[in-house]
């Protein structure tokens, strides 16, 4: 085998390992953490003018209790099909493109810096956001529906309705694209930047359990802090893609401005707690599963 052929095979193997590890991380994370994503979206869709509504949620426990009573247990997984369908390729793209952007932002250096990780994470988020936005539009429409599961429209029915009424463009399946891209870019920039930078300063532990919990702790902190930074874009995304988005919200910065003017600064952080409860543990799950799956696949398919 020639040197060039061997190099190409090695790069292809690395890509497959990165995609396999990233896809596994995404699948595990979404199955476990989807109910918190649903609660977060419900909070973000609330406005002050409907506070008198008996279905208004005053807290996470109140939201989950009312959902269970009014919509049934299955309601906690409303809108899970689009994330399941897209999560494996989405996370595969997230981690794979991060690794590729990381090589680009080395700028000839041998060792990546925190800036390298942050820049790579930012552009991985942009790529990820473009890929997943149509699925986000469908998911938010499904999650905003408060009917019982048996009376709720199916994923395919919602998809067909969006396409029939609004098409594939920025008023249809790609509605809220800028907000999704900014949400993912800001999140991934800090998420990857913090995790890999901090992990690089901590010596590897001989005790496998201590090493595991160290990675979980760094991953949890990464996901939590990144969630606090990007949530205004997440609120804007939910408002634009939700049912009321067709009437009032248009444009990411304009939506943020409207929410701020009408509901106050705190409204830009609606759903923060359930978001943290999802992406704190979820961030830890993804990074740890990715690390261990990457190691396992590398050792399994080593020459």
Helices then strands, counting H and E runs in the chain, come out as 9, 0
Q: What is the mean pLDDT of each run of 10 residues along the chain (303 residues)?
A: 52 78 79 80 72 72 86 79 72 85 86 93 94 88 73 81 88 92 96 90 84 88 93 92 69 92 92 83 82 85 65
Count the domains in the chain: 1
Q: Which domain holds residue 28?
A: 3-300
Give me the torsion for CA of 201, 126, 21, 202, rounded to 10°.
10
Q: What is the pLDDT of residue 228?
A: 93
CA 111 to chain centre: 28
Q: What is the pLDDT of residue 246?
A: 56
Q: What is the pLDDT of residue 2?
A: 46
The whole-model pTM stands at 0.75
CA 263 to chain centre: 25
Q: Any idea what the CATH number is for the domain that residue 148 is in?
A: 1.50.40.10
Q: How many CB atoms lie within 10 A of CB 288?
A: 20
Q: What is the pLDDT of residue 13?
A: 79
Q: What is the pLDDT of residue 14?
A: 77
188 and 94 in contact (C-beta within 8 Å)?
yes
The two structure tokens encoding residue 2: 């020639």
Q: What is the pLDDT of residue 178?
A: 95
Q: How many CB atoms lie within 10 A of CB 76?
A: 17
70 and 53 in contact (C-beta within 8 Å)?
no
């Amino acid at each position: 085998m020639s040197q060039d052929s061997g190099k190409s095979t090695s790069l292809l193997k690395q890509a497959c390992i990165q995609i396999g590890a990233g896809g596994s991380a995404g699948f595990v994370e979404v199955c476990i953490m989807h109910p918190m994503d649903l609660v977060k979206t419900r909070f973000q869709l609330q406005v002050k003018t409907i506070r008198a509504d008996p279905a208004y949620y005053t807290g996470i426990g109140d939201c989950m209790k009312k959902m269970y009573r009014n919509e049934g247990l299955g309601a906690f997984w409303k809108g899970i099909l689009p994330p399941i369908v897209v999560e494996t390729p989405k996370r595969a793209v997230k981690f794979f493109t991060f690794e590729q952007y990381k090589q680009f932002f080395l700028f000839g250096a041998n060792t990546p810096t925190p800036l390298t990780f942050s820049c790579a994470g930012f552009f991985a988020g942009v790529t990820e956001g473009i890929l997943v936005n149509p699925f986000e539009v469908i998911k938010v429409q499904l999650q905003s529906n408060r009917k019982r599961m048996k009376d709720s429209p199916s994923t395919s029915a919602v998809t067909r309705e969006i396409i029939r009424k609004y098409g594939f463009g920025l008023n249809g399946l790609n509605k809220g694209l800028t907000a999704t891209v900014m949400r993912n870019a800001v999140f991934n920039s800090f998420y990857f930047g913090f995790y890999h930078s901090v992990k690089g300063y901590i010596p590897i532990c001989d005790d496998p359990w201590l090493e595991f919990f160290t990675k979980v702790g760094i991953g949890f902190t990464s996901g939590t802090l990144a969630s606090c930074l990007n949530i205004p874009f997440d609120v804007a995304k939910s408002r634009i893609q939700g049912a009321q988005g067709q009437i009032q919200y248009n444009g990411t910065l304009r939506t943020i401005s409207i929410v701020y003017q009408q509901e106050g600064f705190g409204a830009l952080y609606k759903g923060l707690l359930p978001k943290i409860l999802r992406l704190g543990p979820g961030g830890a799950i993804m990074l740890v599963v990715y690390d261990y799956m990457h190691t396992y696949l590398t050792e399994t398919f080593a020459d």
